[in-house]
């Protein structure tokens, strides 16, 4: 029996991209995943499993892997394609879409919408991922949508009830994309605040690293809850610079995702922070693993932003000092604790 | 060597009252704890330990237990008394202070400030604890201060870095009380939003129960983060009725405490929810234990408030249906998931 939608194309087969492909497989006849590496390709094709990023979790049979663009064209002819999902890390977006400009421009000329899963800030241009897409495809801004919210890939695969935010500029496109992803365990709430949704998703990774560091140093729940709460105040200051709505930071893509990544067990950013607390060299940890720790680069970007716009974001600056300045984590925490704050908004009595 | 302040009197020697007594022992020569039960009294007096509520944690030697008011007067003559702390559960405040009206009225006539630790809503009058004090001592409103925020008693005893909010009406009194409690591991931020601070502290206990239920049913981090985030939206609706400031719910006493109690291991409210998820009878669980589960009564109060003021607070109503209406928890969650929400603020596209 055919489903409501025909074909979706997912580029990037990391853990999160694969989990969203699985969500889409409920509503699409076929979900084609364009992968780069032979081992992921073989895993999906031969065993219906992404053995590299989501080992042990079977994928639905209507998820098809494609290693070449010829395969993509074979599995998803343009006239059947109804959604493109970008599961690329932020740093890879610009290069990828410029390299395959003609193909994607022709998709967008047919009004096929895109849903991006990236949560990061470009550490060089300090742009959020919406601008990376808009720069390359300025005519098609209304087609780009951005998903963010508390959602571990593995739990999506287990059909845990999951709520995320999807931000976009067009009411019509948003409504359609939300309809495409929703299922009995996965729901998406709409937002027009693209910057707010992206910023929350990006900055929370830095706080997740801080959460890992704090936990690794032996601090417990009181300290963690205090740090998370104060971090949201810092995030709002970044939001101001980007004209984001404060409410967005208190929603799924802000606070929701922050709670998930700092208190959940599975976050890569938090695990990274735990390793840093043990005294390991941050750069060494990063270079020794295959998965991307978005928060590492975002820490740099957030620091540069705080300098550029004179944002007083103590927790973010503290994490930067630890990751890039060689400061002992214990010392950074002490410094944050000593800042005189009388009211929660930073004003004095 | 004598300390900055002379004597503090703490009434109510539960876990939290005892931990705040310990914090105060850093700044006061003596902290006198008025206890009701012989076993707690003997524990503090003979072994410097509150063996009932905080077993295994040694108390400082300058914490003195008093079983009778004669002992109180012996240890803390009125002219040396500089702070009163109320560690009573919400339901006990009115009776206690009416019974000992003359004593406390005479303290307040000498402008001795009070710091209340209660987090609850009176399930009969639907009053927050500030009104319970104001009703009894209407002339001395400016002396009453209210502490709330992410702070497990046991972690305070371990000197984990802890940040809380203290709300009050007088700048001068607030400044003094904050100075009295602060130490190298314990900090308090000021707020004039008494209602907001109390409401967050009270309502979060209901959500902690919901968190326990969700966890007990086998849901994991994605679902928990989504529930917490949506719950804050519900809390804001209650806040509106009490003229509380929205920002307060995003601060230490709101979101901060919510994160602590729903994601930390030690919360009584969460443990209670876990038991409920196993199918145990809520009333039976409550009556079988000595410690107070504030959230159980607050659930009733929140439900009555939502009726009285026509507040649409789905998560709160869902918890009420499970605790007082015999509804299976799984069914309540399903119902909450089915509510059509398109934007996070509840509006439609």
Of A313, A304, A320, the closest CA to residue A339 belongs to: A313
| A202: number of Cβ within 10 Å | 28
Q: Nearest-CA residue of chain B relative to A192?
A: B343
Give the per-residue pLDDT at A349: 66
% of chain B surpassing 90 pLDDT: 83
Burial annotation B304-343 (CB, 10 A radius, 16+ → b, else e): ebbeeeebebbbbbbbbbbbeeeeebeebbeebeeeebbe
Of A302, A229, A291, the closest CA to residue A263 belongs to: A229
Render A292-321 in DSSP notation, one character per residue. Answer: --HHHHHHHHHHHHHHHTT---HHHHHHHH
Render B243-299 in DSSP notation, one character per residue. Answer: T--HHHHTSIIIIIHHHHHHHSS--HHHHHHHHHHTT--HHHHHHT-SS--HHHHHH
pLDDT, chain A, mean: 93
Contact A190/B152, CB-based, under 8 Å? no
More confident: B280 or B347:
B280
Q: Does B247 touch chain A (CB under 8 A)?
A: yes
Distance of alpha carbon B284 from its chain centroid, rounded? 23
Render B101-150 in DSSP notation, one character per residue. Answer: HHHHHHHHHTT--EEE----B-TTT--BHHHHHHHH-GGGGGGEEEEESS
3-state helix, strand, coil in chain B (%, to 5): 55, 15, 30
**Phi, psi of B84, rounded to the nearest 5 degrees:** -115, 135
Does the structure show a pLDDT above 80 at B291? Answer: no
Q: Does A175 touch chain B (CB under 8 A)?
A: yes
Of A298, A193, A232, the closest CA to residue B248 belongs to: A232
| A168: number of Cβ within 10 Å | 29
Give the per-residue pLDDT at B254: 93
Q: Which of B189, B222, B235, B318 to mutate to test the interface with A (most CBs of A within 10 A)?
A: B222
Sign of the CA dihedral running B152, B158, B161, B164? positive
Pairwise CA distance, residues A302 & A306, whole Å: 6
Residue A185: pLDDT band (50, 70, 90) is very high
Written as six digits, the tokens of A198 are 């992206």
Written as six digits, the tokens of A282 are 């941050």
Burial of A61 (0-12, 13-18, 19+ CB in 10 A): exposed
What is the least distance, in Å, from the CA of B232 to any CA of chain A?
Answer: 8
**A190: CB partners within 8 A, 6+ apart:** A165, A166, A167, A168, A174, A175, A178, B342, B343, B349
Say what the pTM is. Answer: 0.90
Point out the residue among A149, A221, A333 whose CB comes nearest to the CB of B152.
A221
Point out the residue among B220, B226, B260 whose CB comes nearest to the CB of A163.
B226
Does the structure show a pLDDT above 80 at B336? Answer: no
Strand partners, B145: B115, B168
Burial of B103 (0-12, 13-18, 19+ CB in 10 A): middle
Count contacts between A and B (CB, < 8 Å).
Answer: 170
Pairwise CA distance, residues A38 & A45, whole Å: 10
Average pLDDT over residues A326-341: 80
Pairwise CA distance, residues A246 & A262, whole Å: 20
A194-216 helix and A294-308 helix, angle to the nearest 10 degrees = 110
Contact B160/A222, CB-based, under 8 Å? yes
Pairwise CA distance, residues B270 & B214, whole Å: 10
Of the residues B119, B204, B297, B300, only one is catalytic, namely B204
Average pLDDT over residues B320-344: 84
Contact B171/A266, CB-based, under 8 Å? no
Does the structure show a pLDDT above 90 at A159? Answer: yes
Q: Does A344 touch chain B (CB under 8 A)?
A: yes
Q: Does residue A30 have an active-site annotation?
A: no
**Phi, psi of A30, rounded to the nearest 5 degrees:** -135, 140
Contact A259/B260, CB-based, under 8 Å? no
Task: Show which of residues 260-319 on chain B sit within 8 Å of chain A, judged by CB atoms.
Answer: 260, 263-266
Using alpha carbons only, how large is chain B's radius of gyration in Å? 20
What is the least distance, in Å, from the CA of A99 to any CA of chain B?
Answer: 35
**What does the pLDDT look like over A8-42, one tens digit per residue?**
999 998 999 999 999 999 999 999 999 999 999 99
What is the least distance, in Å, from the CA of B290 to any CA of chain A?
Answer: 24
Residues of A in contact with B223 (CB under 8 A): 155, 160-162
Torsion of CA B101, B107, B108, B113, to 10 degrees: -120
**Phi, psi of A250, rounded to the nearest 5 degrees:** -95, 0
Residue A347: pLDDT band (50, 70, 90) is confident
Sign of the CA dihedral running A325, A326, A327, A330? positive
Edge-to-edge strands, sheet with B81-86:
B63-66, B28-34, B5-11, B81-86, B114-116, B144-148, B162-168, B186-191
Give the per-residue pLDDT at B266: 65
Give the per-residue pLDDT at A264: 83
Contact B152/A222, CB-based, under 8 Å? yes
Residue A124: pLDDT band (50, 70, 90) is confident
Q: Are B197 and B253 in contact (CB under 8 A)?
A: yes
Does the structure show a pLDDT above 80 at B164? Answer: yes
Does the structure show a pLDDT above 90 at B47? Answer: yes
**What does the pLDDT look like over A45-83, one tens digit per residue?**
999 999 999 999 999 999 999 999 999 999 999 999 999
pLDDT, chain B, mean: 93
Average pLDDT over residues A202-222: 93
Q: Does A124 touch chain B (CB under 8 A)?
A: no
Residues of A in contact with B229 (CB under 8 A): 150, 163, 250-252, 255-256, 259
Q: Does B51 touch chain A (CB under 8 A)?
A: no
% of chain A surpassing 90 pLDDT: 83
Contacts 24+ apart (CB under 8 A), A244-247: A244/A193, A244/A195, A244/A196, A244/A199, A245/A193, A245/A196, A247/A196, A247/B344, A247/B345
Does the structure show a pLDDT above 70 at B109? Answer: yes
Average pLDDT over residues A284-302: 88
B310: region left, alpha or beta (phi > 0 left; psi from -120 to 50 alpha): left
Residue A266: pLDDT band (50, 70, 90) is low
Q: Does B206 touch chain A (CB under 8 A)?
A: no
Does the structure show a pLDDT above 90 at B338? Answer: no
Point out the residue among B220, B225, B252 whose CB comes nearest to the CB of A256.
B225
Give the per-residue pLDDT at A237: 94
Q: Which of A16, A19, A147, A161 to mutate to test the interface with B (most CBs of B within 10 A)?
A: A161
**How far, in Å, are A209, B244, B300 from residue B237 at the CA level?**
33, 10, 17
% of chain B surpassing 70 pLDDT: 98
Task: Show which of residues 208-237 on chain A sit within 8 Å of chain B, judged by CB atoms.
Answer: 219-226, 228-230, 232
Written as six digits, the tokens of B90 are 């919400």
Give the per-residue pLDDT at B265: 76
Of the residues A30, A34, A195, A204, only one is catalytic, namely A204
Task: Please tell me the number of Cα atoms within 13 Å of A7 on its side-chain side.
Answer: 17
Render A47-65 in DSSP notation, one character per residue. Answer: HSB-TTTSTT-BPPTTEEE
Q: Does B95 touch chain A (CB under 8 A)?
A: no
Average pLDDT over residues A265-292: 87
Does the structure show a pLDDT above 90 at A6? Answer: yes
**What does the pLDDT look like over B173-225, one tens digit per residue?**
999 999 999 999 999 999 999 999 999 999 999 999 999 999 999 999 999 99
Point out the residue among B162, B171, B232 whose CB comes nearest to the CB of A222.
B162
Pairwise CA distance, residues B228 & A259, whole Å: 9
Give the per-residue pLDDT at B349: 67
């Amino acid at each position: 029996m055919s489903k409501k939608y025909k074909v979706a194309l997912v580029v990037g087969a990391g853990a999160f991209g694969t989990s969203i492909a699985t969500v889409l497989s409920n509503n699409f006849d076929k979900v084609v995943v364009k992968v780069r590496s032979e081992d992921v390709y073989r895993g999906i094709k031969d065993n219906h499993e992404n053995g590299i990023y989501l080992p042990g979790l079977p994928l639905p049979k209507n998820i098809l892997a494609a290693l070449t663009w010829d395969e993509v064209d074979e599995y998803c002819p343009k006239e059947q394609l109804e959604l493109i999902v970008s599961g690329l890390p932020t740093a890879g977006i610009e290069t990828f879409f410029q390299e395959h400009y003609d193909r994607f421009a022709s998709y967008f000329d047919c009004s096929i919408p895109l849903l991006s899963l990236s949560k990061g800030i470009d550490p060089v241009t300090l742009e959020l991922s919406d601008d990376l897409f808009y720069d390359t495809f300025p005519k098609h801004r209304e087609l780009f949508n951005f998903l963010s919210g508390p959602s571990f890939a593995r739990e999506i695969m287990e059909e845990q009830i999951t709520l995320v935010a999807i931000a976009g500029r067009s009411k019509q496109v948003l409504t359609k994309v939300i309809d495409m992803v929703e299922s009995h365990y996965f729901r998406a709430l709409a937002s027009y605040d693209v910057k707010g949704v992206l910023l929350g998703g990006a900055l929370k990774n830095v706080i997740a690293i801080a959460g890992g560091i704090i936990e690794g140093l032996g601090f417990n729940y009181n300290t963690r809850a205090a740090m998370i709460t104060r971090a949201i105040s810092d995030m709002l200051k970044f939001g101001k610079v980007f004209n984001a709505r404060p409410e967005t930071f208190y929603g799924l893509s802000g606070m929701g995702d922050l709670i998930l990544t700092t208190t959940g067990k599975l976050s890569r950013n938090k695990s990274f922070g735990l390793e840093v607390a043990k005294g390991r060299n941050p750069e060494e940890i990063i270079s020794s693993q295959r998965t991307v720790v978005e928060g590492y680069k975002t820490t740099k970007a957030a620091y540069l932003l705080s300098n550029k716009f004179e944002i007083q974001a103590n927790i973010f600056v503290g994490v930067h000092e630890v990751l890039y300045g060689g400061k002992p984590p214990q010392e950074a925490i002490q410094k944050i604790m000593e800042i005189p704050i009388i009211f929660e908004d930073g004003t004095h009595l």
